Structure 1
């Protein structure tokens, strides 16, 4: 199990990867979406917005509190979140092995695969 700080660092690393893509590619594949990352092994949910400028407005809140329904919800254990961010866990394999759960529209899933 990783800490909340390690999860935030992992989210920051994913944001760096998104911003490393050329702006033209980001504009082509990213549609602004609300995103929640639910971490079941920690008492935390991370809410943010995915935009062409990367992941913005990142807020950590306690799990179980009131929430708006995000357009994309990712459920992943803290250790797997850190491993995904560090490149030690392949996103496709994680989805197939059910180590990560992605609740999003089909269009959003197809766009997101370009950046995971």
Structure 2
């Protein structure tokens, strides 16, 4: 039995995700006009983080939820870490209900290019 991912694991995963988004955004900058607030809720730990996704880069990552965020990602701590580490496919995780993404349709399409 493995230990559940911790708050620090989740924070580190989101920072790693931010780096990956920045790298992909650099490739797609001309095609990507994307400025959205993002909230990530980690269900099993009862915690949340929020930040700003701008031009494909995640900045200002802070503890706490943002109920007004335009993009809301909800997952377990382990699924979040696996998703960021490339062990969990975002589309299959989303369609199977392992992760929940609440966003407008156009935002979902743009997000898909980044993830």
TM-score by length of 2: 0.89
Contact 1:30–1:50 (Cα < 8 Å) also in 2 = no
Whole-angstrom distance in 1 between the partners of 2:81 and 2:53: 19
1:98 Cα offset (Å):
0.4
Aligned to 1:89: 88
Contact 1:37/1:45 (<8 A) preserved: yes
What is the CA-CA distance between 1:31 and the residue it aligns to? 1.0
CA distance in 2, matches of 1:84, 1:22: 18
- Which deviates more from structure 2 when the two are superposed, residues 51-60 or residues 32-41? 51-60
Looking at structure 1, the residues matched to 24 and 32 of structure 2 have their Cα atoms a distance apart, in angstroms, of 11
Query: Contact 2:25–2:55 (CA<8 Å) still a contact in 1?
Result: no
In structure 1, what is the Cα distance between the partners aligned to 2:100 and 2:25? 27
Distance 1:77 1:24, change over 3 A: same
Go from structure 1 to structure 2 and tell me whether the alpha carbon gap of 1:47 and 1:10 turns closer, same or farther (over 3 Å shift): same
Corresponding residue pairs, total: 112
Which ranges in structure 1 are unaligned for 5 or more consecutive residues?
A: none
Q: Which of 50, 54, 57 is residue 54 of structure 1 equivalent to? A: 57
1:54 shift after superposition: 1.1
* 5+ residue gaps, structure 2: none
CA distance in 2, matches of 1:60, 1:22: 24
